[in-house]
Structure 1
Amino acid sequence: MFAEVNEAFSTQTCSCCGVISASSRAGLGIRQWTCCSCGSVHDRDTNAARNIARLGLQALAGGISGV
């Protein structure tokens, strides 16, 4: 069983505080960024994975339709 989640902005949204940081909106060549709100330092891919995992868990907690 799996649930699809929308991964839009998953690299740009801080996985600690949820803010979409202007400093993270740089090109794909920027691999590491610091959240302008909470100061957390993120690796772009690791941050995206955390956000996608959180969204998936939220979908599972709400129940998956059609199962």
Structure 2
Amino acid sequence: MSKPKQQLMTSNVLLVEVPPQFIALCEASGASPQAALRGMAAMVCGLQYDSDNRLVPLEDAAA
């Protein structure tokens, strides 16, 4: 019997310099800077995170 294949999530790490105002806005809204930047990057690509934290196309996110 073969072992089930593990699904590995690959990610890229990027260091980004952001202004202190961005950090203050994130803190005020309760979002982490990482989550805010991931969300913005997803929107630029026409994607959105669903309730299961998966990326889906923007038009499918409401379904």
TM-score of the two chains, using structure 1 as the length reference: 0.31
TM-score of the two chains, using structure 2 as the length reference: 0.33
Select the structure with the greater relative contact order (CA < 8 A; seq sep ≥ 6): 1
Specify the structure having the higher radius of gyration (Cα).
2
